[in-house]
């Protein structure tokens, strides 16, 4: 009996091969042929799943966002159960930072996509989707904290959330070049949240 092929699993495997190339050599090195070689499959096989490089890049970006959401979702869900807005915001901010080899690779791939977006004038897939989602979560938590008088009433919730998200994006980049380690990044996040929740 012929072996049944799990097409979604195969697509994920090809995305992983793309991640390995992009995280070390950048997206400019990603081609159908390079991904086929990295994954140990034929060009025929890769073109069956991705007829063009653009389709492959789009799928890989969707996979990156799925993996990020899975990773962040578990951490945020645990914090949500505490009912503590500060803990939820901390989980949101720390969840996007590279804290191990796997998350470091995925963050490096995200940066490669951002660079592609800049050089191609905003053409990379759905880049704007990630930051607003994080910002919305932060705005919601700050709003709840303000109702409970845990943060100053005069805060501009949108600007504070934007500032926190931007700080975290900067930390992510700095961690990838070893300017900060995970412990230092955590201290910076805790310091900033400590200032906000000092009311």
Output b/e per residue, 92-123; b: 16+ Cβ within 10 A.
Answer: bbbbbbbbeeebbbbbbbbbbbeebbeeeeee
User: Which tens digit of pLDDT belongs to each residue from 124-144?
Assistant: 555 445 567 889 999 999 999
Predicted confidence (pLDDT) at residue 199 exceeds the cutoff of 60: no
Work out the end-to-end distance of the chain between its first and last CA atoms, rounded to an integer number of angstroms: 68
Percent of the chain scoring above 70 in pLDDT: 89
> In which band, very low, low, confident or very high, does the pLDDT at 164 lie, cut at 50, 70 and 90?
very high
The backbone torsions φ and ψ at residue 123, rounded to the nearest 5 degrees and listed phi first, read -95, -10
pLDDT at site 125: 52
33 Cβ neighbours under 8 A, 6+ residues apart: 43
Give the residue-averaged pLDDT of 61-79: 88
Give the residue-averaged pLDDT of 182-192: 96
pLDDT at site 129: 52
Answer for the pair 91, 79: CB distance below 8 angstroms, yes or no: yes
Residue 177: other Cβ atoms inside 10 A: 7
**From residue 133, how far is each of 34, 92, 96, 137 by CA, in Å?**
33, 10, 12, 6
Q: Which two structure tokens, joined as six digits, stand for 163?
A: 């500032």
**From residue 169, how far is each of 48, 176, 190, 192 by CA, in Å?**
36, 11, 15, 14
Give the residue-averaged pLDDT of 142-152: 95
Entry pTM: 0.79
pLDDT at site 193: 97
C-alpha closest to that of 199 among 160, 148, 127, 130: 148
pLDDT at site 86: 97
């Amino acid at each position: 009996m012929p072996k049944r092929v799990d097409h979604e699993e195969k697509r994920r495997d090809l995305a992983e091969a793309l991640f390995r190339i992009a995280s070390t050599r950048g997206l400019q090195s990603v081609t159908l042929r390079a991904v086929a070689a990295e994954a140990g499959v034929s060009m025929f096989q890769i073109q069956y799943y991705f007829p063009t490089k653009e389709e492959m890049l789009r799928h890989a970006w969707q996979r990156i966002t799925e993996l990020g959401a899975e990773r962040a979702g578990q951490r945020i869900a645990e914090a949500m159960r505490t009912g503590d807005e500060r803990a939820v915001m901390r989980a949101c901010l720390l969840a996007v930072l590279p804290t191990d080899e796997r998350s470091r690779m995925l963050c490096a791939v995200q940066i490669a996509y951002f660079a592609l977006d800049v050089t191609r004038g905003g053409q990379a897939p759905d880049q704007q989707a990630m930051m607003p989602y994080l910002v919305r979560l932060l705005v919601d938590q700050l709003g709840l904290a303000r109702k409970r008088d845990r943060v100053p009433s005069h805060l501009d919730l949108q600007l504070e959330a934007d500032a926190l998200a931007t700080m975290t994006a900067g930390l992510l980049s700095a961690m990838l070049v070893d300017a900060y380690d995970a412990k230092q990044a955590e201290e910076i996040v805790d310091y900033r949240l400590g200032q906000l929740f000092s009311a």
